[in-house]
C-alpha cells in the first residue's frame, strides 16, 4: 500500500497539469449530478408548498346550472345548496375528513377613522385547517364554539390587518364590520399562495358561517370545500358527494355542470409525476457528464501505463504477480476519482448552503442534497472509477516482462 501511495505521489508531481485536468473532469461531473438533482428536489418542494397555499389536497365545489334533464325537470335549473345539504353530505358520504360551506360577501369594516371594503367568507371551524389558514402567534382561527354560539369573531388576512392596524397587534381589538361589532380573534400568518378561487387569503376576512347567515340573511352557500381521507380516493369521494346532493336536490349524478368541482389533489398528482420525470432526466444528464469525466480518467491511466511500461516489466521480472499490478492501477484510479468526488461534493454543499441566502427561494426553492442523491452520486462515481481503471490495469497486468523491459 505504501508503495502504491509513493508511486501515486510521484506521478502527481511529475504530471501536475494532467492530474489537475483529470481531477477537474471528475469534480465537474460530480457537481453536475448533485446540483441538478438538488435543484430539482428543491424546486419540487417549493412548488408543492406554493400549491398548498390554497389548501392541502382539497376539493372546491360550486353549485351551478343543470345541463341534463332529470325526472321531468329541464336543463338550466339552478342548484341551490343549503346548510342542511352540507350536513347530509357530512353524514352520508364516506371518505371525507372534513367539509365546510362557504358564504361570500363584501362588507365595510370601520376602525377609528379608517373605513375599508373587505371580502368576507362565512365558514365552519374546519375551514382553516383545510385551507392552511394558520394564525400568527397569539391568535386563532374560528372555533366550534364561535360557530355554535353565533359569535361575532373575525379572522383577518395579514395584508388587510396591516392596512388597518399597521404594526400594532390586531388580535383583541374590536371593529365595526357590516354594521356590527366584531372581535379580532386571529391574523393569518404570512404564506405563499400561487392560486385562489376568490381572492388571495391575505386580503380576506373570515367569520363563523352561522354569524354570517344571521348578519346577511344568506340562505344558500356560494361554494363548499371538502377534504378526502386520501388523495388516491378523491375521484370516488367526489362522485359520492355529487350522488348525495343529486338525491337531495334532484339532478342527474352524472351532471358535472350542476356541481362543478375543482379537485386540487389532481394538481399534486401531476406535480409528483412531472417532477419525478424531470429529476430522472436531470439525473441522466448529470450521470452522462460524470461518465465523460470517467473517460478522461481512463485515457490518462492508459497514458500512465505506456509511460511506466518498463517499470512494470522490471516489477514482474522481480516476481510481482498480475493481480498486484492490476490492483495498483485500480487503486490509483479510484483514489483520483475519490479525490475529485470529494471536492465536487464540497463545492455542491457550499452552493446549496449559499443559494437560500440569495433570496430566490420563492422562485427556485432551496436546493437540497438528499441521502438518495448522495448515494446515487457515490454509486456512479465508484462505477466510473472502476470502469475507468479496469481496462488500463488489465492491459498493464498482461504485459510480457521481457517485452516490457525493452520498450
Supply the pLDDT for residue 194. Answer: 74
In this structure, of 33-42, 84-93, 156-165, the range with the lowest mean pLDDT score is 33-42
Q: Using alpha carbons, select from 210, 213, 99, 205 the residue that is nearest to residue 151.
A: 210
139 with 284, same domain?
A: no
Do 88 and 105 reside in the same domain of the chain? no
- Per-residue pLDDT tens over the stretch 382-397: 676 667 666 666 676 6
Question: Does one domain contain both 34 and 87?
Answer: no
* Dihedral angle computed from the Cα positions of residues 123, 125, 131 and 133, in that order, rounded to the nearest 10 degrees: 110
Specify whether 156 is located in the same domain as 218: yes
d(CA 40, CA 63): 39
Please state, in angstroms and rounded to a whole number, the distance separating the CA atoms of residues 109 and 115. Answer: 6
Q: Are residues 251 and 354 in the same domain?
A: no
Q: Which of 7-11, 66-70, 177-181, 308-312 has the lowest mean pLDDT?
A: 7-11
Residue 58 forms part of a structural domain: no
pLDDT of residue 84: 94
d(CA 340, CA 336): 6
Same domain, 106 and 180: yes
The per-residue pLDDT for 320 is 64
What was the pLDDT predicted at 244? Answer: 93
The answer to whether residues 381 and 291 belong to one domain is yes
pLDDT of residue 307: 67
Task: Tell me whether residue 264 is in a domain.
Answer: no
> CB within 8 A of 74, min separation 6: which ones?
66
Residue 56 lies in a domain: no
Find the mean pLDDT for residues 147-159. Answer: 95
Lowest mean pLDDT of 27-41, 129-143, 227-241, 365-379, name the range.
Answer: 365-379
Confidence of residue 27 (pLDDT cuts 50, 70, 90): confident
Of residues 149 and 15, more confidence is placed in 149
Q: Which residue has the cell 344571521?
A: 214
Instruction: Say if strands 114-123 and 204-208 run parallel, antiparallel, or are unpaired.
Output: parallel
Q: What is the CA radius of gyration of the chain?
A: 34
Residue 112: inside a domain: yes
pLDDT at 110: 94
Tell me how many domains the chain contains. Answer: 3
Q: For cell 371518505, name the residue.
A: 95
CA distance 94 to 160: 38
Q: E-assigned strands of 37-179?
A: 59-63, 96-111, 114-123, 153-156, 174-177
Same domain, 88 and 134: no
Question: Containing domain of residue 118, as a range?
Answer: 101-223
Q: Is the pTM of the predicted complex or chain greater than 0.75?
A: no
The tens digit of pLDDT for each residue in 121-145 reads 999 999 999 998 999 999 999 999 9
Are residues 36 and 150 both part of a single domain?
Answer: no
Task: Report yes or no on 59 lying in a domain.
Answer: no
pLDDT tens digits, 264-277: 877 777 777 777 78
Task: Determine, yes or no, domain membership for 57.
Answer: no
Among the ranges given (55-69, 343-357, 376-390), the one the predictor scored with the smallest mean pLDDT: 376-390
Average pLDDT over residues 23-27: 77
Q: Are residues 13 and 134 in the same domain?
A: no
Band of pLDDT at residue 259, cut at 50, 70 and 90 = very high
Higher-confidence residue: 30 or 263? 263
First to last CA, the chain: 27
Cell numbers 449559499 correspond to: 354
Are 43 and 130 found together in one domain?
A: no
**Arithmetic mean of pLDDT over the chain:** 82
For residue 328, being part of any structural domain is answered with yes
Question: Does the residue 376 lie in any domain?
Answer: yes
Determine the pLDDT at residue 360.
66
Question: Do 114 and 206 share a domain, yes or no?
Answer: yes
Amino acid at each position: 500500500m505504501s508503495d502504491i501511495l509513493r508511486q501515486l505521489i510521484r506521478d502527481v508531481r511529475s504530471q501536475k497539469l494532467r492530474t489537475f485536468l483529470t481531477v477537474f473532469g471528475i469534480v465537474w461531473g460530480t457537481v453536475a449530478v448533485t446540483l441538478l438533482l438538488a435543484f430539482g428536489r428543491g424546486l419540487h418542494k417549493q412548488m408543492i408548498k406554493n400549491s398548498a397555499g390554497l389548501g392541502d389536497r382539497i376539493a372546491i365545489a360550486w353549485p351551478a346550472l343543470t345541463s341534463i334533464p332529470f325526472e321531468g325537470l329541464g336543463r338550466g335549473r339552478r342548484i341551490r345548496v343549503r346548510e342542511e345539504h352540507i350536513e347530509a353530505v357530512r353524514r352520508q358520504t364516506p371518505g371525507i375528513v372534513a367539509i365546510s360551506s362557504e358564504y361570500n360577501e363584501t362588507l365595510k369594516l370601520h376602525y377609528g377613522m379608517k373605513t375599508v371594503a373587505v371580502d368576507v367568507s362565512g365558514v365552519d371551524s374546519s375551514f382553516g385547517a383545510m385551507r392552511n389558514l394558520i394564525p400568527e402567534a397569539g391568535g386563532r382561527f374560528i372555533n366550534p364554539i364561535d360557530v355554535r354560539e353565533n359569535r361575532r369573531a373575525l379572522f383577518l388576512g395579514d395584508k388587510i390587518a396591516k392596512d388597518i392596524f399597521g404594526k400594532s397587534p390586531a388580535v383583541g381589538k374590536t371593529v365595526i364590520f357590516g354594521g356590527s361589532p366584531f372581535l379580532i380573534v386571529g391574523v393569518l400568518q404570512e404564506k405563499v399562495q400561487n392560486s385562489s378561487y376568490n381572492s388571495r387569503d391575505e386580503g380576506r376576512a373570515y367569520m363563523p358561517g352561522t354569524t354570517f347567515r344571521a348578519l346577511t340573511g344568506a340562505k344558500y352557500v356560494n361554494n363548499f370545500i371538502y377534504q378526502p381521507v386520501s388523495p388516491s380516493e378523491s375521484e370516488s369521494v367526489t362522485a359520492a358527494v355529487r350522488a348525495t346532493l343529486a338525491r337531495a336536490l334532484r339532478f342527474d349524478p352524472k351532471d358535472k355542470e350542476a356541481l362543478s368541482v375543482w379537485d386540487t389533489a389532481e394538481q399534486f398528482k401531476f406535480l409528483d409525476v412531472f417532477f419525478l420525470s424531470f429529476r430522472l432526466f436531470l439525473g441522466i444528464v448529470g450521470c452522462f457528464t460524470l461518465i465523460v469525466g470517467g473517460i478522461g480518467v481512463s485515457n490518462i491511466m492508459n497514458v500512465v501505463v505506456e509511460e511506466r511500461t518498463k517499470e512494470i516489466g522490471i516489477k514482474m521480472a522481480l516476481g510481482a504477480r498480475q493481480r498486484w499490478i492490476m490492483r495498483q492501477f485500480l487503486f490509483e484510479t479510484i483514489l483520483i476519482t475519490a479525490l475529485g468526488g470529494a471536492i465536487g461534493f464540497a463545492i455542491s454543499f457550499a452552493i446549496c448552503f449559499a443559494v437560500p441566502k440569495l433570496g430566490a427561494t420563492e422562485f427556485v426553492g432551496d436546493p437540497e442534497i438528499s441521502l438518495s442523491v448522495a448515494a446515487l452520486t457515490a454509486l456512479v462515481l465508484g462505477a466510473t472509477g472502476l470502469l475507468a481503471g479496469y481496462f488500463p490495469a488489465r492491459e498493464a497486468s498482461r504485459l510480457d516482462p521481457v517485452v516490457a523491459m525493452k520498450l
